[in-house]
Structure 1
Amino acid sequence: MSEHPQFYLTAPSPCPYLPDRYERKVFTHLVGERAEALNDLLTQGGFRRSQNIAYRPACEGCRACVSVRVVVDEFEWTRSLKRVWRENMALERRERPPLPSSEQYSIFRAYLDRRHADGGMADMTVLDYAMMVEDTHVDTRIFEYREPGGRNRGPLLGCALTDILSDGLSMVYSFYEPDLQISSLGTFMILDHIMRAKEIGLPYVYLGYWVDGSDKMAYKTRFQPQERLGPKGWSRG
């Protein structure tokens, strides 16, 4: 990677969040010795990572996508969030290198089919999934959440692909078994990342984009306080 990475602009395509709108993205490649430092800098500037690409929206006339991050040390535990934590706290979290498995893909495939059958990732094959997990030049982990299994591994219930940044954990993508009897595993994984960041002394958990008017993104407002990235930098949302 050169000292000055090159940025590119995608062609317009239908917006996945808001009807009758089109999105464009600016992106660059995250490769080479400086990939990790660049990923840190770009994430703090509102970019997201997908494999070895860092991107952010660059839509004409629209600024609906807003980067959000949770302030770990001041996190507010509401009654409903405490309930989710209690109901799931017996699960085992295993923090592993970014290596895909057939067990992970089985849950990933079921999650897409049940929750996002009309989304842009709906046609992802097992090879696509493997690339999503292992095609990274930065410090990436996969957090596996399992039922307690004692000396043996309990059944896998959900996963979160996460980047370890200098100032926080960035949740790249998470998924879980869609037919679970356990409630709110997606919420629990975010709570667990907040607790993990606190354990290792990182001030933020990056949740990606919040989009005003998108039901898909409404859940992110549950995690307060949070900062949102605007024209003048990060500020409390």
Structure 2
Amino acid sequence: MNYIEHVGKYFMMLGQVFKAPQKFRVFWEALFREIEQLGIKSIGIISFISFFIGGVIALQTALNISDPLIPKMLIGFATKRSIILEFAPTFCSIILAGKVGSYITSSIGSMRVTEQIDALEIMGVNSLNYLVLPKIIATIFFYPFLIILGMFLGIFGGWVAGIATGMFFEADYIKGIQYDFNSYLIFYAIVKTIVFAFIIATVPAYHGYYVRGGSLGVGKASTQSVVWTIVVIVIANYFLTQMLLT
């Protein structure tokens, strides 16, 4: 199957996802289960990485500003912009693509190879709606909060790094954070996050739903889904940056 056929099959899958919804009670229970699995359980890894990457960005910026004529407030400004524009929405989404994408593919793929999906369809259940739609809604609504948390912790991590190492003063860093604040950049990051969340939920679901080859096929599909999810995120990031920032 070539790439065009895969894309066509992917959009056909999406058409079934938003068709014939299940009973509200069943959907509600599935949604909260996915919020816990895909969102709440990802808070720890995003918090940890955001904090330390923010510190690394601040320290590297401080090390590269050696000219005494350059104001030290640029350390806080550069850290803030780097985290809001790229690190929080894009890099955190790539991390989530690896963690969440493999989980989605393996969970749906396991149901496919054990014929649980076939059993759902025999009972008249729209399996794609039942399995995929709660994941889409959970990621789209929860991940913006997760990325905002990553922004805050990244900037805070830069502040802690400066205080711990003494490479820059607290007042200069805070002044840089406050300098030229543009709320549109937050909007830009949230829009990217929503698009990436949709990709993280649907691309791995596609690979898991159409998996073949038993347990070995599930493992292979999990690897492929992570790779393709990251590729699609990087391509989408390019076009979103073109549309929203130029």
When normalised by structure 1's length, the TM-score is 0.26
Higher strand share: 1
Higher helix share: 2
Structure ID, larger Rg = 2
| Structure with higher RCO (Cα < 8 A, 6+ apart) | 2
When normalised by structure 2's length, the TM-score is 0.25
